[in-house]
Structure 1
Amino acid sequence: MLRDEIITVFGGSGFVGRHVVRALAKAGYRVRVATRRPHLAQDLRVMGVVGQVQLVQANLRVPASVERALEGATGVVNLVGVLNESGRQTFSRLHALGAKTIAESAAAMGIRRMVQVSAIGASATSLSRYARSKAEGEASVLAALPEATILRPSIVFGTEDSFFNRFAAMARFVPALPLFGGGKSRFQPVFAGDVGKAVLAAFERDDARGQTYELGGPGVYTYEALMRLILEAIDRKRLLLPLPWAIGKVIATVSELVGALPLMPVIITRDQLIQLQSDNVVADDAKTLADLGIHGETVEAIVPSYLERYRHHGQFHEREA
């Protein structure tokens, strides 16, 4: 049965956004997906009954479009974010100013419930511009809406993720995978579906108001362990090459220059390299998925199922005895 509440989801057409829309629609909410290109997100409509999921055009750089997307809504989710800056899509404009625009517009329209999806490591004192912009976005949201809930996921995995897919694709063509800083940095990957559940729980639990949660899955892995897991999943033997941070910086600089060319992917940026130098795990004193009543899925249970396409013969690949 459909509820009367409308929740506007900014960034709902993205990788994590699709899981959030699905979770909200399954719970009966009417979902309004605010995206720059609605015509590219028509598949979201089938995540609910007819008319339950609505698509609207909105651009965070145009406050009037943000206000239109919020009309009649009782809650709002902000998932807008980028891993690499490109043109006008900068960390400052999207993570900081974009979040501020959404929160202030929501407050002015009488909306009190907001979920801001940030990232573990968000800090005003970080050396990473990405992390600083995330922290600035959090601060702006809480200043406008003190009852907002902040969710900080670690690396998010799922069928369309940009971490496991990136390195699995790379392993098809290169003889070695780099272990920046020796591969000792630690991560606590979280399933995109669990992030969707966390957003839903943040709206439905009164004790989540004004709280910050760090979202990590059941397992903690070193960067090296994740590379080994990827190679095992795609059944390819590759050298794992430890590289000092100084060499990594050179590689990242070249990657950015190459990535500026048309159709060329960015393997890693200097800002991402800075982030790699710190562990990306849930803090000991943080509220977690468990505090939202969620038992997270493991990497081992999900990741191999969608990395099979990177094997020599895809789903028809047979492992050697």
Structure 2
Amino acid sequence: MKLVTIFGGTGFVGRYVARRMAQQGWRVRCASRNPNDAPFVRTYGVVGQVEPVFCNIRDDDSVRMIIQGSDAVVNCVGILAEGGKQTFEALQRDGAGRIARLAAEAGVERLVQISAIGADADSDSEYAQTKAAGEAAVLEAFPSATILRPSIIFGDEDEFFNRFAGMARFSPVLPLVGASTRFQPVYVDDVAAAAEKAVLGQAEAGVYELGGPDVATFRELMQEMLGVIQRRALILNTPMPVAKLMGWTFDLLGKLTFGLLKGPLTLDQVRNLGNDNVVAEDARGLEDLGIRPTALEAILPTYLWRFRPEGQFAESINSAANLRGVDSDKVS
């Protein structure tokens, strides 16, 4: 039985990759800083097939030990905001390069790197810069690697739609930074399917940009989300100069409190939100991998229902109301 090691294998994307590889009959090693918090990955396969293990990708010996015996490696590690030693450079640049270098030394057959569409060495965002630097480090050490660049990822455990749906439950206003910025949301299991294809050798090496079937602005996505959760809120665009000042202030607050207090966004995130996040016209994508992108409207209701005023009973209540309306019409 072949073995795949998934760095970040207990995280949002990694757990979906782990499930798919277990279904393919592979042994799966889910490397994480907190493996004791993720016993759920064991249920993806038979007893002993999927194991959460400790690994610190900032350390050569830790990564080398975890990679040992692997036929394939998938790196899903990434962060949206820094904290302590978990910096963009340490994880997205140096960590990615370290995994690729040690995978090559260990004779690993295939390597998959989960990056991001926004990866850009010339960006004013450190997140985007380090994503690009990580890709370069991976290709230098492991030229035959497959690099996947998803747009914003949605799914049950996402930190995007869930976050704003939670805000809409308590606030009549949704403040957005970059309301006109365009996104191409991609379903998390479609990203996992792309990684699965690469691990199985069913994809040519190189870079793929992954996006769903629809492109929409941040404002349009929030309008769709509000429709799904059956709530109303005023969508208010925050001017970029104001947003940058807010991000800078929140960053300063975090530094002064040594990370104890964190704001809702960082200056780096504000910079990222000023750029479109869509698949380039000449890029290879999901279709090139034989994967049909999943529509946002098909998935959002399956996990955002809990933010509706009546929760899981919303549909039955609406159906009953409609039925009463029909009956009233017949009587009149």
Pairwise same-fold verdict (TM > 0.5)? yes
- Kept in 1: contact 2:116–2:151 (CA 8 A): yes
Q: Which amino acid aligns with 1:115?
A: V
Q: Which amino acid aligns with 1:133?
A: T
SS in structure 2 at match of 1:250? helix
- Kept in 1: contact 2:180–2:217 (CA 8 A): yes
Partner of 2:329: none
Partner of 1:202: 198
Partner of 1:152: 149
Matched, 1:186 2:196: no
Matched, 1:288 2:285: yes
Matched, 1:238 2:218: no
In the alignment, structure 2 segments of 5+ residues that lack a partner are 323-332
SS in structure 1 at match of 2:30? strand
SS in structure 2 at match of 1:73? coil
- Kept in 2: contact 1:112–1:147 (CA 8 A): no
Q: Which amino acid aligns with 1:17?
A: G
Using the size of structure 2 for normalisation, the TM-score is 0.90
Distance 2:170 2:11 in 1: 27
Identity %: 50
Shift of 1:206: 5.1
Once the two structures are overlaid, the 10-residue window that deviates more, 283-292 or 257-266, is: 257-266
Matched, 1:108 2:96: no
SS in structure 1 at match of 2:14? helix
- Specify which of 233, 243, 246 is matched with residue 248 of structure 1: 243
Closer, same or farther: CA 40–48 of 1 in aligned 2, 3 Å: same
Closer, same or farther: CA 95–162 of 1 in aligned 2, 3 Å: same
Q: Which amino acid aligns with 2:180?
A: K
Matched, 1:42 2:53: no
Shift of 1:5: 1.4
SS in structure 1 at match of 2:208? strand
1:104-126 Cα distance to aligned partner (Å, 9 max, x none): 11111111410000000101111
Shift of 1:160: 0.7
Calculate the aligned-residue CA RMSD, in Å.
1.8
Shift of 1:170: 1.1
Aligned residues: 316
Shift of 1:313: 2.8
- Kept in 1: contact 2:10–2:52 (CA 8 A): no
Shift of 1:279: 0.7
SS in structure 1 at match of 2:280? coil
Alignment of structure 1 residues 1-321 onto 2, 5 Å: 4-181=1-178, 183-205=179-201, 207-209=203-205, 211-256=206-251, 266-317=263-314, 318=317
Distance 1:160 1:54 in 2: 21
- Kept in 1: contact 2:71–2:110 (CA 8 A): yes
Shift of 1:151: 0.2
SS in structure 1 at match of 2:10? coil
1:73-116 Cα distance to aligned partner (Å, 9 max, x none): 11100001111111111111000011111111111111141000
- Kept in 1: contact 2:203–2:289 (CA 8 A): no
Distance 1:301 1:149 in 2: 28
Shift of 1:196: 0.8
